[in-house]
């Protein structure tokens, strides 16, 4: 399902994109999806920062789990 949005873009940019045959809706959709993914990941890291830090300290102290089975 698609949602209709209104975006404001500088006229010169819109004109050039139109002249070049760029699908501005597609470009905007991809950019918004990328921005949402980056923000979702940033929030996840922030919410889990303490646990990630604790795990990193544990690995520093004790090494990687199952490290003795690594072939590289």
pLDDT in tens, 25-68: 999 999 999 999 999 999 999 999 999 999 999 999 999 888 88
Phi first, then psi, for residue 64 (nearest 5°) are -75, 145
DSSP structure string for 10-67: -HHHHHHHHHTT--HHHHHHHHHHHHHHHHHHHHHHHHTHHHHHHHHHHHHHH--TTG
Q: What is the widest separation between alpha-carbon atoms in the chain?
A: 61
Residue in the block written with tokens 């922030």: 46
* pTM of the complete model beyond 0.75: no
Contact 24, 14 (CB under 8 A): yes
């Amino acid at each position: 399902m698609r949602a209709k949005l209104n975006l404001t873009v500088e006229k010169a940019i819109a004109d050039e994109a139109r002249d070049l045959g760029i699908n501005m809706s597609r470009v905007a959709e991809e950019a918004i999806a990328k921005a949402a993914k980056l923000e979702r990941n940033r929030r996840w890291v922030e919410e889990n920062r303490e646990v990630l830090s604790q795990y990193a300290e544990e690995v520093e102290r004790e090494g990687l789990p199952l490290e003795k089975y690594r072939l590289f």
